[in-house]
Amino acid sequence: MEREEILLKAQKDNNGKDLADLEASKKGTSLGFMVGGLTIIGVVITELIITGRFAYGTMAGLGLMILVTFIYKYVKLRKKHELVMIIIYGLWFIGWTIAWTLQLMGRI
């Protein structure tokens, strides 16, 4: 195979994107996810300090964001680690959702 044929085949296999584009997208998504998560945690802590209320719903949303990531990875890779993380973040999401519901009802 010639160099051009190899490049065309790689682009076809990667939906028209080259490897540098895919890697940049992957790293950008990862960085955005990390910064977004840290921002959410900062907002939760600030809200707790200023209002005295804990943002259970926000923590549930953060847990759901992470949970969906691991569900997607498990569907694609079928690795045991992803399944364990699904269980952990699934419990995180359920716990914070219950706490948020109780907060809305005035129980906590």
Residue pLDDT, tens place only, 70-100: 999 999 999 999 999 999 999 999 999 999 9
Kindly report the average pLDDT of the chain as a whole number: 89
Please tell me which residue, 98 or 13, carries the higher pLDDT value: 98
Both tokens of 23, joined, read 């890697």
Alpha-carbon span 75 to 107, nearest angstrom: 38
Instruction: Please tell me the pTM assigned to this model.
Output: 0.71
pLDDT at position 64: 95
Alpha-carbon span 34 to 40, nearest angstrom: 10
Place of tokens 């999401």: 93
pLDDT at position 14: 64
Residues 27-39 have a mean pLDDT of: 90
Alpha-carbon span 53 to 105, nearest angstrom: 14
> Above 90 in pLDDT, residue 24?
no
Which range is least confidently modeled, 8-17, 26-35, 63-72?
Answer: 8-17
pLDDT at position 25: 80
Both tokens of 27, joined, read 């790293």
pLDDT at position 11: 67
Place of tokens 């809200």: 47
